[in-house]
Amino acid sequence: MRLYWVRHGEMEFPPVSVVEHETIDRFFNGEHQGPLTERGRDEARRVASHLAKLGVDAIYASPLLRARETADFTARATGIAVSESNDIAEIRCGRLGSDSRAAPFLKTAQRLPLPERARKAVVGSVLLPIYWSRWLKDETDGGESPMNVVERLVRFLGVVQANHGARDSVAIFSHGYLIYFFANFLADPAARIRNSVRRPYIRNGSITQIDFHASGRYRIVDYAEHTHLRAS
């Protein structure tokens, strides 16, 4: 079985200049439900066109708006209905708290004289790894543990294996952290926690292809591929 794990398209998010710490916390716990931006919709269209050419037999999506909207483009392109699953929602990293080193960083980022996209890039390049590394070390409040994530991924894959045949291709619309965690877990299960902190970010609209065998073995065919997003 071929699995196409798609990261959703770019989503709308409050301007970094007015983002408060609580807003960032909400984003990292699946509570912010922004729709796709125009760029995100274009990414979703390109993903849909690409998957329609490859051929898919089923579509699953996280219930979070950005993932479901991205999946709907492929559903319209293929005529295949979308099945939602909470098991492939984004990882809930918990909250850092106002005393974390993210708080002063946010205040500094708000004052930077940068264009909005550049400001977001600065925040993302520093803030994302902070949340990720703290979560892996169990230094956030609330959220879920890495083992919780493994358990729901295993549960989801069991459903997919039960519902589809060995020759089927399944499109899965999910989130960057979850896809990265899954790929790392498969590539080296014994070192998944140690190595997952290195680079959790993958591009919006990218596709990670994984062969899923009846024996339970996995093989990563292509990781975070995004050539289909290039302007034609």
Residue 59, φ and ψ in degrees, nearest 5: -130, 125
Q: What is the pLDDT of residue 79?
A: 98
Question: 71 vs 192, which has greater pLDDT?
Answer: 71
Residue 114 in any domain: the answer is no
Range of the domain at 152: 2-16+36-94+144-229
**Average pLDDT for the chain:** 84
> Using one digit for the tens of pLDDT, what is the confidence trace for 8-40?
999 987 665 545 556 667 777 777 788 999 999
Domains identified in the chain, total number: 1
- Measured between alpha carbons, how far is 133 from 155 in angstroms, rounded to an integer? 25
Residue 212 in any domain: the answer is yes
User: Using an 8 Å Cβ cutoff, are 144 and 95 in contact?
Assistant: no
- Measured between alpha carbons, how far is 177 from 174 in angstroms, rounded to an integer? 9
Q: Taking the mean position of all CA atoms in its chain, how far away is CA 107?
A: 26
Question: 145 vs 194, which has greater pLDDT?
Answer: 145
- Report which of 83, 38, 53, 28 is spatially closest to residue 207, judged by C-alpha positions: 53
With 0-12 / 13-18 / 19 or more C-beta atoms within 10 angstroms meaning exposed / middle / buried, residue 142 is exposed
Residue 168 in any domain: the answer is yes
- Report which of 160, 162, 202, 161 is spatially closest to residue 181, judged by C-alpha positions: 202
Task: Please say if the pLDDT value at position 232 is more than 80.
Answer: no
Task: Please say if the pLDDT value at position 196 is more than 50.
Answer: no
Residue 127 in any domain: the answer is no
Q: What is the pTM of this model?
A: 0.86
Q: What is the pLDDT of residue 57?
A: 98
- Average pLDDT in the 66-89 region? 97
Residue 53 in any domain: the answer is yes
Residue 109 in any domain: the answer is no
Question: 44 vs 125, which has greater pLDDT?
Answer: 44
- Report which of 227, 163, 207, 202 is spatially closest to residue 70, judged by C-alpha positions: 207
User: Using an 8 Å Cβ cutoff, are 224 and 208 in contact?
Assistant: yes
Task: Please say if the pLDDT value at position 66 is more than 50.
Answer: yes
- Measured between alpha carbons, how far is 54 from 44 in angstroms, rounded to an integer? 15
Q: What is the CATH number of the domain that holds 153?
A: 3.40.50.1240
Residue 24 in any domain: the answer is no
